[in-house]
Structure 1
Amino acid sequence: MPAESTPEPGIPGVSGTSAPRHRVKGRRRKTRSTRSKALLITAWTAAGIVVLGGTGAGILYFKLNSNLKSVDINQALGSDRPTKVDNGSENILVLGSDTRSGSNKKLGGGADDGSARSDTAMIVHVYKGHKKASVVSVPRDTLVDRPSCTDTKGVTHDATSGVMFNSAYSTGGAACAVKTVESMSGVRMDHYVEVDFSGFQKLIDDLGGVRITTTKDISDSDSHLNLKAGTHTLNGKQALGLVRTRHGVGDGSDLGRIQLQQAFIKALVNQVKHVGVLSNPKKLYDLADTATKAVTTDSDIGSVTDLASFANGLKGISSSNMTMVTMPVQYDSANANRVLVDKAKAELVWKALKNDQPIPKAATHGTATGTAKGVVSAP
């Protein structure tokens, strides 16, 4: 921290279905199983930490601005988008990125070629009043029609049908991912947040770990995770292993992994709200520094002041006011490693978000699910 005689300026004005899963015989796609998947977890935590940093402790230095990376989604996509609904709600697309560059190389597995993939996506709908939220996880193995899109470098990518959802990001980055979500749902994304492996892991360590309870043993050599049934305080490496694991518990599907991720998010949100860092300026700054390095945002929230203002609107949402569902899908009869959008039921989800209404239970009744529900919870 700077000497007292030359204080760094802070940011003024910021206050404090249960269908059985059948595996296809043959070679398992191991490289896919070792990638992923740190997601809303880091984004929500980053938002919370940035808010804490503005509560009068004076630790949000201009230096944090240089940590943030942003992309201009609005310029890339232009006007060919769903109409923005002005009803006080917000929709945020949160993606997990496993870039193969920098410190993520040793965490992601696969080719260290500097490329990036997004194997996890969540649509976060914050309701009017910002006291409640619904989170819709989009399985990365969903077969979709990817629309034509222009990425942030001005390169246009042709439309294609029947491809995995996560190909949108690997093809055209953030802009194409947003375009695909908007085309699929008819819901405009107001903001975009992307998080990465190394930032997630370090953030959990900076927080002092996260306490969770498991009802079953979890053992997965792919994600390097071994947990006995019981209560644990996970460090960053273990937490990353938990949100990445597929074969350690349940049916080995991406849907099961989503169930683990959603449970972990709730445990993390609870902990962030009670983390005692205001009395420890160094810890608070370290958290803010890690959080701002871990995220890439849309340009509308691409500065510390804008991100803090955005996060300030989320801090009233507790885990008990978060509804978490998986986008309605059914297993693809032609390939058990893929799922298809259940369009009729998915439309119930998109209609609810557009109208700022709760997602009806009928939307997910009888749809495909994993078998990991209830395995992880907050202690």
Structure 2
Amino acid sequence: MRILHTSDWHVGKVLKGQSRANDHIAALKAIVDVAEAEQPDLVIVAGDLYDSASPPADATKIVTRGLSALRKTGADVVVIGGNHDNGQALDALRPWAEAAGITIRGALTRPEELLLAGSTKGGEQWRLAALPFVSQRYAVRAAEMFDLSAAESAQSYAHQIGGLLATLAQGFGRDTVNLITGHLTVIGATMGGGEREAHTIMGYAVPASVFPSSAHYVALGHLHRAQAVNGPCPIRYSGSPLPIDFGEEENFSAVAVVDVTTGTAARVREVSLPVATPLRTVRGTLAQLATLDTGDAWLRVYVSEQPRAGLREEVQELLPRALEVRIDPKLLPDSAAAGRAAARAGRSAGELFSDYLGQKGHADEATVRLFHRLHDEVQEARN
């Protein structure tokens, strides 16, 4: 059978006040074009269809039209919720989706709901364990729904995810193509630059060993860089179909096309996607910036000039598509950028939240204290 694997659309993204709607429409059209050319039996969208849990109406229109167009190519379409999505809101679309022949699993539910089955036009049978994003807070509820033991439910997040996947994999057959899709961070994979940090580090990373060797292919979402991950079975992130923010401007935009049978290993091809409006970072003095031809790209500009009133306006007059203008960190000896460049792995949730407030210009000790109190309450409830 043939699978088209995509994820992390982030429809509804606004970059420094600039809507990306036209870019998303172009990206989804490109994915549909690939589906029409490749004629997959199954399309998997591995989470983060939206950029926020409360997407605007036009974002929902873009997503539903994109899913409908993929279904019209003749493929089965399966969608799971990601950490940016509102899982319950996605599940509210299930009546529409089922009428259109699209399967949505937005939030965690019982195992029998998450193990999907189907067959290709040629009669090849497949099973798909569809695991939406599971937060640490709801991992305990997941353990209850999956009837895990008290000892199993008290394990770490990684152990709990492994337990959920092992339960789902019990439904795999010897004569079926066995697939998994999830929205997870796997240890050893490379972040793409635009992921939500609190859901990629701390206790959220899982080892590749959580995936059973009985799986023929694991289609992941969450990390925005297309990449394979070493593990007991073929594991892959499709990456985002367009750069989400300036940290991803060098990412390769693609979908994965996978050919697999019950008796052969998965063969994966990356099919590149055009990016309607690229993102680009430029640096220089005003004189140097004035010589640049940046085309239609949205720009992040690092100005090699000392700070002064009106400098931002001068830059934007030279480069009208500059969405972000900053002084080059090299000219700021005590730049906050140096601190943000420090390794974040292993830092507490409170430290990350405090840094986030500072970066947004909203540093406030009372808010940080409230965050700590709420975080402690959640941890106590979890324990």
TM-score, structure 1 as length reference? 0.24
Higher relative contact order (CA 8 A, sep 6+): 1
TM-score, structure 2 normalization: 0.24
Q: Which has the larger radius of gyration?
A: 2
